[in-house]
Amino acid sequence: MLVPEMFLLLLAGVSAGPVESTDDAGDTIPKHEPWESTGLFEGDIMEPPGTLVHRNAMKDKSLRWPNGVVPYNITEDFTEEDRKIIRKAMDEIEANSCVTFKERTVDDFDYVLIGDDLTRPGCWAEVGKVGGAQTLNLGRANYCVYFKGVVHELMHTLGFQHQQSASNRDDYVKILWKNILPGKGYNFDKYDNSMITDLGIPYDYNSVTHYAADAFTSNGKDTIEPLEEGAVIYNDGHLSRGDMEKLNIMYNCNIIFI
């Protein structure tokens, strides 16, 4: 089974701006993803020193969450409504895979601490099980506590990178470099397939881990153009079919998709 390698993701110091719409569950969707203004690698990734490679699904088997069980604590930084959104995002993953999130007990040495660290603001998480208490940060002042954003970060915690980082992405999308903010081109890097796996699932335009079509735009125009006829880059905040299939392969779930 193919599983996560360790990376640290950070969505820091951003101002998301006004809400543009709501999804089909009535949850708010920011006009732009909060992580786009961070200045970090791929918008929401801060790499440990010496880290050189990324991939959509990580390969290091030692860094998966054993049996798909993720212990967590939520700090007192959040309102009751925030907690409901966080739990709802967990429910989304649990309902579509065998992954489970459980409140941490004293017996859980490895767990996710979900908080709002004002010294490192923004939305960020460590990818895969890295050992001990690892942080998933959801800055309230940075508009990070919304359903899609939390699902996105939880997917990173479970071991997934951005879909458009896949080594074969140029077969499926065209990066419109002229429309990207100056100095932000590094956010659209792709990676060697010797270190990447798609878990046998086709490129997914609708993945919750895929950049929006206009991510990091400098002029309001799209920065990513789908190459498949009729394809649209869009995610409604929920896991796509491809996300579900990858989760179930990575965590060896016995779920059959019809």
- The CB density around residue 6, as the number of other CB atoms within 10 Å, is 18
Q: Are 138 and 153 in contact (CB under 8 A)?
A: yes
Could you list the active site residues?
153
* E strand map for the chain: 7-9, 19-22, 28-30, 69-74, 100-103, 111-115, 123-127, 133-138, 173-175, 224-226
Using a 10 angstrom Cβ sphere, with 0-12 exposed, 13-18 middle and 19 or more buried, the burial of residue 56 is: buried
Q: Rounded to the nearest 10 degrees, how much is the dihedral formed by the CA atoms of 134, 53, 169, 162?
A: 10
What does the pLDDT look like over 181-240, one tens digit per residue? Answer: 998 888 888 876 655 578 889 999 999 999 999 999 999 999 999 999 999 999 998 999
What average pLDDT does the segment 79-92 reach?
98
Contacts of 62 (CB under 8 A, 6+ apart): none
pLDDT tens per residue, range 23-68: 544 555 555 666 554 444 454 544 443 343 344 556 666 778 999 9
pLDDT at 28: 56
Query: Which phi and psi angles does 65 have, rounded to 5°?
Result: -80, 115
